[in-house]
Structure 1
Amino acid sequence: MNKNRFLSMIDTHQGIIYKVAKMYRDDPLDQEDLFQDIVYQLWKSISTFREDSKESTWIYKVALNTALASFRKRKVEIDYSANKFSPEYIDEENKSENEEKLFDALRKLEKSDRALISLFLEGYSYKEIGDITGISVTYVGVRLNRIKTRLKEILLIKV
């Protein structure tokens, strides 16, 4: 894959990367660092993308694996301020209060639960979620029901 096609793919799907970064990091600077780390991992692993799945599915898989793996790594300070692919494309003033409440609630979930619910919220089927995460379709359903119940508890929504 050439550089221009890769950059186009990142530009098209940067919302996915931003959502994963926001779900796994509280601080905006940490979100930007994770965003950049995900893009770097995508670039390093682009040769493994066989195009037998959707680009967005592959990006989600790499993004989630990178986010989860980054908890095990030592934090390295790098300045990415010159990069055009950052969460800054989101207008801070237009964020809704409900969106922030949802992200706060999602951050309270276990890391693996965040991955499942983020894929579900993006509209992926149980089969696609299973393919990305490596669990059975049936178990995806069980886990998502438990996650939804937990989110209701966190958000204090009465069933």
Structure 2
Amino acid sequence: MIEKSYLEKLEEHKGIIYKMVNLYADNDEDRKDLYQEIISQSWSAYPRFKGEAKFSTWLYKISLNVSLSFLSKQKKLTQIRDHDEFNSYFEPPELSERADWLYRCIKQLSEIDRGIIMLHLDGFTNTEISEMTGISRNSTNVKLHRIKQQLTTLLTGK
């Protein structure tokens, strides 16, 4: 029953994982490894999910932490056991040319800034972003302002 509940919620929010994977991994093999690691970590933590936060918020926090750990190691993670139910989820959607361009610009930001802007673009409040990243609300406000300036420069070339 727990597995079914987890898989249903995961199916509903798998876009969160795709975003993180596309932002923090540069090739297909690393994307698959990172995706599997996020699935593994979230599955392991799911029994402790109390519902005090939205599932999407909880999944973002896990995805961001796993992605940042992935980058800090700078090596491929060990493959987890194959789970047919989980592997079938990795069919990344095709990105439009504009979305692909936006992802390329966001990937030029620092690791933590990538996560912050994705949380912001997905509608999380600055307070929620602050709680998920462990950065003070004021610092989050300042960081978001600077990130938007950087992205404007990257996107417009000015």
User: Is TM-score (shorter-chain normalized) higher than 0.5?
Assistant: yes
CA RMSD of aligned residues (A): 1.9
CA distance in 2, matches of 1:67, 1:16: 12
CA distance in 2, matches of 1:75, 1:33: 7
CA distance in 1, matches of 2:136, 2:42: 25
In structure 2, the CA distance between the partners of 1:157 and 1:34, relative to structure 1 (3 Å rule), is same
CA distance in 2, matches of 1:81, 1:52: 28
User: Could you say which residue in structure 2 is the equivalent of 1:123?
Assistant: 123
TM-score (norm 2): 0.89
User: Could you say which residue in structure 2 is the equivalent of 1:54?
Assistant: 54
- Structure 1 stretches of at least 4 aligned residues deviating more than 3 Å after TM superposition: 76-82
Where structure 2 has 5 or more consecutive residues not aligned to the other structure, the ranges are: none
TM-score (norm 1): 0.88
CA deviation digits over 1:103-154, x for unaligned, max 9? 0011110001011001000000111111111122222111000001111122
User: Could you say which residue in structure 2 is the equivalent of 1:44?
Assistant: 44
1:77: how far off? 5.5
In structure 2, the CA distance between the partners of 1:81 and 1:151, relative to structure 1 (3 Å rule), is farther
* Number of aligned positions between the proteins: 154
CA distance in 1, matches of 2:77, 2:24: 17
CA deviation digits over 1:44-103, x for unaligned, max 9? 1113322100000000000000000112333145386951111x151x3xx211101100
Amino acid at match of 2:88: K
CA distance in 1, matches of 2:70, 2:97: 28
User: Could you say which residue in structure 1 is the equivalent of 2:23?
Assistant: 23
CA distance in 1, matches of 2:47, 2:79: 25
User: Could you say which residue in structure 1 is the equivalent of 2:68?
Assistant: 68
Are residue 85 (structure 1) and residue 89 (structure 2) matched? yes
In structure 2, the CA distance between the partners of 1:6 and 1:141, relative to structure 1 (3 Å rule), is same
Identity %: 36
CA contact (8 A) 2:13 2:56 kept: yes
1:4: how far off? 0.6
Where structure 1 has 5 or more consecutive residues not aligned to the other structure, the ranges are: none
